[in-house]
Structure 1
Amino acid sequence: MIRIAIANQKGGVGKTTTAINLATALAACGRRCLLIDLDPQGNASTGLGVKTADRQYSSYDVMMGDATLDEAVSSTMIPGLDILPATVDLSGAEVELVEHTDRAHKLQKALALEEARWDVCLIDCPPSLGMLTINALVAADSILVPLQCEFFALEGLSQLLQTVERIQQRFNSSLSILGVALTMYDRRNRLTEQVAEDVRSCLSGLVFETVIPRNVRLSEAPSHGLPALIYDHRCTGSEAYMSLARELLARLPAEELAA
């Protein structure tokens, strides 16, 4: 199973939207996909139609050893896509994990027990660089960074890259950056074009060719408990995520996907 953390400590850059729709697109491409909601807000769970009342176990329970991954995972309306939902209990995990000597490896150990069920695992991280995100980066093979096309997002990217380097040095030497996905792209805005040019010049081949546009359908879909690819598969946002999924698959090791 290939594990990909979707992370950026800045909020509002499209992490959860990317996680939901990329997972749906990968499932549509025939991959068995697991989406882990590691954000206490639980938006990825809600966006896939998993009601709060139906979340008997969550990613919190799995990390704290109160439930197995198999017990906590729920199927979704999308064939081939399962989710490990989140609850508000995760908000206390940052404090509770401090007392554990293996606090950075909780998620990694839980995932090691269920490798064969899925081809790809996407981890939707909270908008911070706290213990939950560290657990995701330790457990992941690579990181996908959604980057909003604005100036302040560039400053946050630098901090995130420093964190990735520290994780590589201390916990996970094999962690790599799979790519940067430009989100909320508005071709009418000159600043958007400038930020995209700056990111591509700095990070070169790490930046995906596909850009995710500003699209009202992407914003509407979660309120219906649906991925945009189900809510309106013909909108520009849905088409962009299908394109991003194909581009992502081309970057993944074929031998691991075939395993």
Structure 2
Amino acid sequence: MQIVSISSLKGGVGKSSVTLGLASAALAAGIPTLVIDLDPHADASTALGVRAHGSRDIGSILRKPKKGAVSKITVAASWTAHPITPESSPRPVLDVAPGSAVSSHLDRSGFKVKDLKRLETVLQGVDTYELVLIDCPPSLTALTRMAWAASHKVLSVAEPSLFSVAGTKRTMTALAQFEGSKLWAVPAAGVIVNRARKDFSEHAHRINELHELFGDLVVHPILPDAPVMQQVQGAAWPVHRWPGEQAAVLAERFSTILAGLLR
């Protein structure tokens, strides 16, 4: 099981959009996948067509973590009611551990070392999935750190802008410091460039800057600025099933990125 955190220490860069695009690619490829929505705003859950009911949310089980407890709260994404490959059988698995404001109790800077094992604990023994995607909060909190502690890879999402490049530097520096604790080590990390416009010189400059800063850690292909993504999310629909050229380009690039993640 490959566990991947989608992270950024700057809000508004499309972190949840990247999580959803990768989930769509996994669904299209028939890869059994779980999306864990750690962000208290629960945007990924909304776009996947699910919501928390009662205590069936990720924040609730992280209060008193028990081995394998995530399996008790997962629900199927609404996307699976309309398979991307209609002839696929059995129906592809795309489950969600819904997010909610309940997880705010861990969305804080202060934490104890034992807190960082909470997510790892609730995932222990769960073997239903080949891929787990964790949508992290846009800040360096206990929630973000426990996601990193449970992950095999961390992807930092960046827009080609001055402030986003600075946010990516903070994310990668924080990740290096986290690994330096020697308690946890993330085997791999990368930077996904999102919402890039090829006809905008400022974007080209910032993309070059990201390459200079992070070299081979920059993930290819780059994701274009495609307004259709807002329509896709508003409809709670996978981008791989959305009509039109913009969606097709996005879908192809997400599939390519996913293939690289799973190597």
- Flag whether TM exceeds 0.5 (same fold): yes
Residue 222 of structure 1: how far off its partner (Å): 2.0
Cα distance in 1 between the residues matched to 2:109 and 2:223: 37
Structure 2 counterpart of 1:165: 176
Does the 8 Å contact 2:160/2:194 carry over to 1? yes
Structure 1 residues without counterparts, runs of 5 or longer = 254-259
Structure 2 counterpart of 1:25: 25
After superposition, residues 9-24 of structure 1 pair within 5 angstroms as 9-24=9-24
- Please give the secondary structure, in 2, of the residue aligned with 1:144: strand
Structure 2 counterpart of 1:57: 56
Cα distance in 1 between the residues matched to 2:177 and 2:201: 35
Structure 2 counterpart of 1:257: none
1:118-157 CA distance string (max 9 Å, x none): 0010100011011100010001011011111101111111
Q: Which of these residues, 93, 109, 118, is aligned with residue 106 of structure 1? A: 118
The one-letter code sitting in structure 2 at the alignment partner of 1:8 is S
Identity in percent: 22
- Closer, same or farther: CA 204–237 of 1 in aligned 2, 3 Å: farther
Q: Which of these residues, 225, 236, 242, is aligned with residue 246 of structure 2? A: 236
Structure 1 counterpart of 2:86: none
After superposition, residues 46-195 of structure 1 pair within 5 angstroms as 46-52=46-52, 54=53, 56-65=55-64, 68-76=69-77, 77-78=79-80, 79-94=92-107, 98=111, 102-114=114-126, 116-170=127-181, 171-177=183-189, 179-195=190-206
1:35 aligns with 2:35: yes
Structure 2 residues without counterparts, runs of 5 or longer = 81-91
- Closer, same or farther: CA 55–20 of 1 in aligned 2, 3 Å: farther
1:207 aligns with 2:218: yes
Residue 175 of structure 1: how far off its partner (Å): 3.5
Cα distance in 1 between the residues matched to 2:5 and 2:162: 23
- Please give the secondary structure, in 2, of the residue aligned with 1:210: coil
- Please give the secondary structure, in 1, of the residue aligned with 2:220: strand
Cα distance in 2 between the residues matched to 1:42 and 1:94: 13
Cα distance in 2 between the residues matched to 1:201 and 1:50: 40
The one-letter code sitting in structure 2 at the alignment partner of 1:73 is T
1:248 aligns with 2:261: no
Residue 27 of structure 1: how far off its partner (Å): 1.9
Cα distance in 2 between the residues matched to 1:24 and 1:200: 27
1:209-231 CA distance string (max 9 Å, x none): 2121111210122222223333x
TM-score, normalized by length of structure 1? 0.88
Structure with greater strand percent? 1
Structure 1 counterpart of 2:84: none
